């Protein structure tokens, strides 16, 4: 690994890693909290505050950080700061694009995809360990939802059976507590697991820049800033993703929500225990689907689910494409200036996506609105154009169509 | 396919996942049923002590499992 002593370049990489950390929290709030918000066990703002706090605590809970990225997937010898930066850009852009369309997708897969793309651009096909990529990323993306659907549906079926003749308000009252408990566990596990990825990246960058010795532990400011970035992202809440998970797949009640979140927590923790890590996002989505499968007469919107599965399959190639492009741009401009240009482009693209999202804001105020088939992801773009027709706006001025001011 | 899927680990995840991930909600549901299901309230409208004990044992087991999971996360076992 080449030694980089340029402090400004180091700052750019650290900032980008924190930005990824932020999108990670932002994108994954729904995994833990979508069901609690949908069943009104928690108010939307309470839910994201709880999740953010637990992510913050989780980041401090365990500090077994290893400075490895995409271990066993990309040849460790070609991981330079430029590759890391391009990989982060790929991860961030994919996270933002999927958020824009309200699709839950794995943040770690996005990061791996970005790094794979950058590695391909840097070293060609020999830089990527293809069987590792298939075994650790692509196949688990197919397996995780199936496992979670199985566990979630069995749990839901049992719960429904045992409580079939319990008065509904009693069920709701008690299961809401169960729901909050299990969702908290998912948030905590997320904070511990995912904040460490960014800590590992920053540690790697610091070592590469000779800012800390090679056997250094994680400096406290890194732990703190990663924990804060993720908690802040979680608090802002990826409302679009929350809406899809909570309202788009299954109409949830608190018994299903509790079964789904417990299933998620169990599968996530067990899978890492047995060394077969599954993505939190894939597991959480599968569990929610399972809670629809397990309830007799519940409608599961498989078309929405199918679109998610497609997104998961293209996560790695799509993030890789962005990562490779970022690396290419970096090399094209050359030197440290290349990294600055990449960073500037990232900022511009992120801002553009954010602007686009403002055309049809989803926030805590409308996250639980009825799910209409017309607001399926493909039609969001078309609808947002219609929404901005000023005449339509005046006609619908006092109706639901009026885009309210988002208060975050 | 066997080189791409670790069947052993996957099997364990499914087995223990069903045991814990479906078992705990079921246990919680049994607690709810004992406390608020049909026949839970006697003639005086109160839930009997025996039912309360059973119900809180169920909830207690679930809470213990959650605390165990937190300890597991904190121990870096994830």
Res. B4 pLDDT band, cuts 50 70 90 = confident
Decide if B4 touches A, using CB distance below 8 A.
yes
| Percentage of chain B lying above the pLDDT 70 cut | 91
Please judge whether B17 and A147 are an interchain contact, meaning their C-beta atoms are less than 8 angstroms apart. yes
**A199, A66 in Cβ contact below 8 A?**
no
Cα-based distances in Å from A67 to A38, A135, A204, A207, B77: 38, 21, 5, 9, 17
DSSP code of residue A42: S
The sign of the dihedral angle between the CA atoms of A171, A173, A174, A178 is positive
**First-to-final CA distance of chain B:** 26
Please judge whether A276 and B9 are an interchain contact, meaning their C-beta atoms are less than 8 angstroms apart. yes
Please judge whether B78 and A182 are an interchain contact, meaning their C-beta atoms are less than 8 angstroms apart. no
Q: What is the pLDDT along chain A (408 residues), one digit of tens a residue?
A: 444 457 888 899 999 999 999 999 988 888 899 999 999 999 999 999 999 999 999 888 876 666 666 677 888 778 888 888 999 999 999 999 999 999 999 998 999 999 999 999 998 888 888 888 888 888 888 889 999 999 999 999 999 999 988 888 888 889 999 999 999 999 988 888 888 888 888 888 888 788 888 777 788 899 999 999 999 999 987 898 999 998 889 989 999 999 999 999 999 888 888 878 788 999 999 999 999 999 988 888 999 999 999 999 899 999 999 999 999 999 899 878 888 899 999 999 999 999 888 888 888 888 878 876 544 444 444 444 444 444 444 444 444 444 444 444
Given phi > 0 = left and psi -120 to 50 = alpha, else beta, which region is A295? beta
- Which of A141, A155, A187 best probes binding to B when mutated, by most B CB atoms within 10 angstroms? A155
Identify whether B2 is part of a domain: no
- Which of B8, B20, B29 best probes binding to A when mutated, by most A CB atoms within 10 angstroms? B29
pLDDT value at residue A5 = 58
Contacts of B17 (CB under 8 A, 6+ apart): A147, A150, A151, A263, A266, A267, A270, A271
Identify whether B52 is part of a domain: yes
Query: What are the φ/ψ torsions at residue A358 (nearest 5 degrees)?
Result: -70, -15
pLDDT value at residue A382 = 41
Compute the distance between CA of residue A364 and CA of residue A44 in angstroms, rounded to an integer.
Answer: 6
Task: Give the domain ranges of chain A.
Answer: 7-395
Residue A19 exposed, middle or buried by CB count within 10 Å (0-12, 13-18, 19+): buried
> Which residues of A fall within a CB distance of 8 Å from B66?
181-182, 185
Question: Interior CA angle at A7 toward A3 and A8, to 5°?
Answer: 120
Domain count, chain B: 1
pLDDT value at residue A50 = 93
Please name the residue of chain A whose CA is at the shortest distance from the CA of residue B18: A151
Decide if A152 touches B, using CB distance below 8 A.
yes
Identify whether B58 is part of a domain: yes
Please judge whether B13 and A274 are an interchain contact, meaning their C-beta atoms are less than 8 angstroms apart. yes
The model carries a pTM of 0.84
**A387, A393 in Cβ contact below 8 A?**
yes
Interface of A with B in 257-276 (CB under 8 A): 258-259, 262-267, 269-276
Decide if B24 touches A, using CB distance below 8 A.
yes
Identify whether B32 is part of a domain: yes
pLDDT value at residue A266 = 92
Interface of A with B in 102-141 (CB under 8 A): 131, 134-135, 139
Please name the residue of chain B whose CA is at the shortest distance from the CA of residue A155: B22
Compute the distance between CA of residue A110 and CA of residue A323 in angstroms, rounded to an integer.
Answer: 10
**First-to-final CA distance of chain A:** 42
Identify whether B1 is part of a domain: no
Number of Cα atoms under 13 Å in the Cβ half of residue A89? 31
Q: Which residues of A184-216 are buried (b: 16+ CB within 10 A; e: fewer)?
A: bbbbbbbbbbbbbbbbbbbbbbbbbbebbeeee
Range of the domain at B37: 7-74
Please judge whether A185 and B10 are an interchain contact, meaning their C-beta atoms are less than 8 angstroms apart. no
DSSP run (H or E) holding A348:
helix A335-357
Compute the distance between CA of residue A209 and CA of residue A186 in angstroms, rounded to an integer.
Answer: 35
Contacts of A399 (CB under 8 A, 6+ apart): none
Decide if B70 touches A, using CB distance below 8 A.
yes
Identify whether B55 is part of a domain: yes
Identify whether B12 is part of a domain: yes
Res. B26 pLDDT band, cuts 50 70 90 = very high
How many CB contacts within 8 angstroms connect chain A with chain B?
A: 150
Compute the distance between CA of residue A246 and CA of residue A154 in angstroms, rounded to an integer.
Answer: 20
């Amino acid at each position: 690994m080449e030694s980089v002593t340029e402090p400004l370049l180091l700052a750019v990489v650290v900032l980008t890693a924190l930005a990824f950390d932020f999108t990670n929290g932002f994108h994954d709030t729904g995994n833990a909290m979508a069901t609690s918000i949908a069943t009104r066990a928690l108010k939307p703002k309470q839910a994201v505050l709880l999740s953010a706090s637990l992510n913050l605590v989780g980041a401090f809970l365990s500090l077994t950080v290893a400075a490895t990225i995409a271990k066993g997937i990309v040849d460790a010898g070609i991981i330079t700061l430029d590759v890391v930066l391009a990989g982060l850009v790929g991860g961030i852009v994919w996270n933002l694009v999927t958020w824009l369309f309200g699709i839950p997708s794995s943040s770690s897969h996005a990061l791996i995809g970005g790094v794979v793309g950058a590695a391909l651009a840097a070293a060609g096909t020999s830089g990527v360990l293809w069987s590792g990529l298939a075994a650790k990323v692509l196949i688990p993306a197919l397996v995780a939802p199936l496992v979670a659907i199985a566990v979630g549906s069995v749990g839901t079926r049992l719960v429904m059976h045992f409580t079939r003749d319990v008065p509904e308000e009693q069920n709701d009252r008690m299961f809401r507590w169960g729901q909050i408990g299990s969702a908290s566990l998912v948030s905590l596990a997320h904070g511990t697991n995912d904040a460490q990825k960014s800590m590992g990246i920053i540690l790697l960058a610091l070592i590469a820049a000779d800012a800390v010795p090679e056997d250094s532990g994680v400096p406290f400011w890194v732990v703190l800033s990663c924990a804060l970035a993720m908690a802040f992202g979680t608090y802002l809440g990826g409302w679009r993703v929350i809406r899809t998970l909570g309202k788009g797949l299954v109409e949830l009640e608190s018994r299903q929500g509790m079964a789904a979140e417990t299933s998620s927590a169990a599968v996530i923790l067990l899978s890492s225990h047995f060394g077969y890590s599954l993505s939190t996002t894939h597991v959480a989505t599968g569990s929610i689907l399972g809670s629809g499968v397990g309830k007799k007469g519940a409608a599961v919107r498989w078309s929405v689910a199918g679109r998610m599965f497609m997104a998961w399959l293209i996560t790695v190639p799509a993030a890789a494409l962005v990562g490779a492009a970022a690396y290419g741009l970096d090399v094209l401009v050359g030197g440290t200036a290349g990294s600055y240009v990449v960073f500037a482009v990232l900022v511009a693209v992120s801002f553009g996506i954010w602007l686009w999202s403002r055309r049809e804001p989803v926030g805590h105020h409308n996250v639980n609105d009825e799910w209409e088939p017309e607001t399926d992801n493909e039609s969001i773009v078309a609808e947002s154009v219609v929404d901005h027709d000023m005449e339509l706006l005046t006609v619908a001025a006092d109706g639901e169509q009026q885009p309210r001011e988002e208060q975050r | 396919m066997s080189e791409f899927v670790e069947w052993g680990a996957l099997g364990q995840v499914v087995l223990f996942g069903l045991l814990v991930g479906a078992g705990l909600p079921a246990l919680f549901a049994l607690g709810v049923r004992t406390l608020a299901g049909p026949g839970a309230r006697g003639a005086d409208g109160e839930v009997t002590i025996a039912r309360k004990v059973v119900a809180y044992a169920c909830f207690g087991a679930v809470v213990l499992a959650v605390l165990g999971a937190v300890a597991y996360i904190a121990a870096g076992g994830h």
